[in-house]
Structure 1
Amino acid sequence: MSARTVKVASASGLHARPAALFSQAASEQPAAVTIETADAGPVKASSILMLLTLDVAFDDEVTLRAEGEGAEESLDALAALLETNLDEEFQES
């Protein structure tokens, strides 16, 4: 199992729009991915409801874990997404 720890860059953390974008991207990955915090998890990264239960705020660290074919690529894609301010990205489009 591969793992990666990243800080969340979205100003609102993983709430509302950023959580929706992240869960959608997770569901499109070839590997099964979970996400957890120091206090909660792991939960399926593709589940928006489970993401919201983690109560992840701006600059919180989360750990992504992936298993299966394409695990490293899945972690790369999702880590890059978390390191992007998705609130800002959405406002600009």
Structure 2
Amino acid sequence: MALLAFELAGEQTVRHHSGWRINATSNLWLDPWIRYALALQFIAAIAGAQMLVNTVGYVQSTLQLGKTEYGWAMAAFSIDWFRTFQE
């Protein structure tokens, strides 16, 4: 398929679009405010993933409950999280 595309292109130049991605990504990391915001988002993502993993471990091994109870535990976390912003 790729060979056919190159044959159809003939003498036309093939543009690569990866250069602007590398340039844009490096521009994001060069700005200190955006770099700080990206770092905070990365830390929040790690904390969220760790909470999910620890909840699965706690519900299934310590409490010896199943997937349904894990769903109820996650629903309780989300209700509690939503309530903190309502006060």
Q: When the two structures are superposed, what TM-score results if normalisation uses the length of structure 2?
A: 0.27
Higher helix share: 2
Q: RCO (CA 8 Å, sep 6+): is it higher in 1 or 2?
A: 1
Q: Larger Cα Rg: Structure 1 or Structure 2?
A: 2
